[in-house]
Amino acid sequence: MDTTRLTHDREDPNPQPFWEGCERGVLLVQICEACRARRMPPRPMCPRCRSLESRWQETSGRGTIWSFVVPHPPLLPAYTAVAPYNVIVVALEEDENIRYVGNLVTSADASLGEVDPATIRIGEPVRVVFARVEDVTLPRWVRR
């Protein structure tokens, strides 16, 4: 699947720890050193207290489906090939305001289109898995 042009931004230093976490098989979240608020997507300043001090924390890797869509063509060719597939937003178990975008799959390396979209429900419990796609590792989600 040709996603070369769709993978992460190696120029921007802020998200690099997140992607490095994926390489190691852990789902990370950025957390403010001053007020402990988590934030996603990563950015230099805490939106609650404006502190510039932050670190990365390992998450449970578990969450629930907050919403989902099922894209149909016209899409980019690599995605047309697996459409209709699902895209889900997952709310993190330990902090419902931290959400990740991904796909519900049957296993880490399965095709994006394998889960029957008609079976997907908001609120379903899921856990993270990691898929190697060309030169990057992407978080995906399986039912638990």
Partner 1 sequence: MPGAWQWTRPAGMLRPVDEIAMLTRRYMHEYGATRDHLANVALAFRKHANRNPDAMMRDRPLTRDEYMAARWISEPLCLFDNCLETDGALAVVITSAERARDLPHPPAFLHSFAQGLPQQHQPMINFFCDDPLRGPAWSCAARLWERSDFRPGDIPVAQIYDAFSPLIPLSLEGYGFCDRGEGAAYTDGGALEWPDGRLPTNTSGGGMSEAYVHGFNLILEGVRQIRGTSVCQVDDATACLVTSGEGVPTSALVLRR
Contact footprint for Zn ion (CB under 5 A): 32, 34-35, 37, 46, 48-49, 51
Q: Which is nearer to Zn ion, 10 or 50 (CB)?
A: 50
Confirm or reject binding of residue 110 to partner 1 (CB under 8 A): no
Confirm or reject binding of residue 11 to partner 1 (CB under 8 A): yes
CA proximity to 39, closest of 48, 102, 104: 48
CA–CA dist 141, 138 (Å, integer): 10
Q: Which is nearer to Zn ion, 98 or 126 (CB)?
A: 98
DSSP per-residue string spanning 33-51: TTT--EESS--SS-TTT--
* 20-59 footprint of partner 1 as x/- string (CB under 8 A): --------------------xx-----x------------
Residue matched to tokens 């390396």: 109
What are the tokens at 42?
A: 């990563």
Q: Taking CB within 5 to 8 Å according to partner kind, which of partner 1, Zn ion, none is near residue 11?
A: partner 1
Instruction: Report how far apart, in Å, the C-alpha atoms of 84 and of each of 58, 75, 80 are.
Output: 32, 10, 8
Q: Taking CB within 5 to 8 Å according to partner kind, which of partner 1, Zn ion, none is near residue 46?
A: Zn ion
Q: Which is nearer to partner 1, 26 or 87 (CB)?
A: 87
Judged by CB under 8 A, the stretch of 24-32, 55-63, 131-139 that binds partner 1 is 131-139
The answer to whether 117 and 86 are in contact (CB under 8 A) is yes
